[in-house]
Amino acid sequence: MESLTFRHTTEKPLGGTAPSAITGVVASGNLEILLERVLPPDACEVAIETPIAGYGPVWEAVVADFVARAQPGGLRISINDGGARPDTVSLRLLQGARLMEA
Amino acid sequence: MAAPLAAGTDPRALSWYEATARQRVAALADPGTFHEFLPPTERRMSPHLPLFDLPRAFDDGIVVGRARLDGKPVLVAAQEGRFMGGAFGEVHGAKLIGLLRAARDLRPAAVLILFDTGGVRLQEANAGETAIAEAMRAIAELRAAGVPVIGLIGGRAGAYGGGGLIAGTCSRLAVSEGGRISVSGPEVIETNRGAEEFDSRDRALVWRTMGGKHRRLIGGADAFAADTVAAFRAAALDLIGRAPAFDLATLEAEQARLEARIARFGDCRDATEIWARMGVNDPDAVPAMTTASFDETVARVAEAHHDAR
């Protein structure tokens, strides 16, 4: 298993009041994403556990793109990966942010 | 915890087969009443999977909690069939057993188990096998205390292995066409006995041997539900209302039912032979029947209706 953690500073906090949300399932080509509103409003941390080693730079790019688009300030995001493709990861992250905005 | 659903989707119209465990629970219960025990934020994950370099799930593949069903308090457990085939590991099993034992004190109107499992998780097999045995004992004790345990089976993993055994101890079972109930799976039988005994690639054979329609016709399941959350909710409510007592008379009736079944159908080589002997007019038409016409067929089959279990 490879563990990756990325920390970002956001320009604003994510809207909404949901304290936590989960989306996706740990299955082949899929992943689960747990989002918790536990950090300072301008901080976002994404921690990833993946059985597919060696894709750190791809994860870094996908997470940076998500942070720039969603501005998920305040969120700690934990990912259990089942070998999802980058587009699936992107989709799930945005799905998760949407749930937290509810 | 929130479960994702596309905007405008009626949750009760969701396909049970396609839905995740979280979506099933949220849509099955009265809106907003589900309260999860040990939610993903608690991170109660498998201590064994990392040894095998396998990914874990925050809920170890089972969602447990309390909810209301048509206003009645119920406890609910839902397996996620897509995480490791919904298989029982140590934490997964402990969550189900804990829920069943809590029910002895809380005395809800029912415990609902949304099965979706291939059986025991091989990477933590000893813990999984123990969990199966403990779950069966907990169900027997709960039923003896007067709390019905209702199994709902319509997920992609079916109810196999130890999950099939646990299902056999429930007060009542509802199954959909996609749901399958058995102990040894098709591939297991073929591996041990050869393709002449059971060809696991013959999907029609698998479904007419282990599928929901056959289980309903022979009285193994007590309700047949269309593949929607709404249909399973209606079936659950109906079954809670007519769960049999767990006493000597029920067990003796079940023993007599099973003895009569093996005597009457023991020499049949295919499910269609059994259906023909039961008086189904056109056995070959059963797999393609709609829910409505299948319900009419079931109504005419004596074996499908009994007070045993």
DSSP per residue, B201-212: T-HHHHHHHHBH
- Residue type at position A48: I
In a domain, B201, yes or no: no
A26/B4 Cβ within 8 A: no
ipTM of the complex as predicted: 0.96
Beta strands in B31-179 (DSSP E): 35-37, 62-69, 72-79, 110-115, 149-153, 172-176
Across B173-190, average pLDDT: 95
Any domain includes B89: yes
A99 closest CB neighbour out of B2, B57, B58: B2
Say if residue B5 is exposed, middle or buried (CB neighbours under 10 Å; 0-12, 13-18, 19+): middle
User: Is some CB atom of chain B closer than 8 A to the CB atom of A27?
Assistant: yes
| CB-CB neighbors (< 8 A) of B84 in chain A | 26
Domain of residue B159, residue span: 14-181+220-244
* CA-based nearest residue to B77, from B36, B16, B49, B119: B36
- CATH number of the domain that B76 lies in? 3.90.226.10
B196: in domain: no
Task: Select the CATH number that applies to the domain covering A2-100 from these four: 1.10.3470, 3.30.230, 1.10.1760, 3.40.50.
Answer: 3.30.230
Residues in chain A, pLDDT under 50: none
The pLDDT, as a whole number, for residue B1 is 62
Look at residue B166 and tell me if it is in a domain.
yes
Q: Which of B22, B39, B58 is closest, CB to CB, to A80?
A: B58
Inter-chain touch B4–A95, beta carbons under 8 Å: yes
Flag whether pLDDT at B302 surpasses 70.
yes
The two structure tokens encoding residue B253:
């009736």
Q: Where are the domains of chain A?
A: 2-100
| Contact (Cβ atoms closer than 8 angstroms) between residue B227 and residue B154 | yes
Structure tokens at B175: 């199954």
Q: What is the pLDDT of residues B101-134, one digit of tens each?
A: 999 999 999 999 999 999 999 999 999 999 999 9
Which chain A residues touch B157 with a CB distance below 8 Å? Answer: none
Distance CA B229, CA B225 (A): 9
pLDDT in tens, B42-79: 999 999 999 999 999 999 999 999 999 999 999 999 99
pLDDT digits (tens, 9 = 90+) for B233-285: 999 999 999 999 999 999 999 999 999 999 999 999 999 999 999 999 999 99
Number of domains in chain B: 1
A34: nearest CB among B58, B83, B84: B58
* Statement: residue B3 has pLDDT above 70: no
Residue B291 is assigned to a structural domain of this protein? no
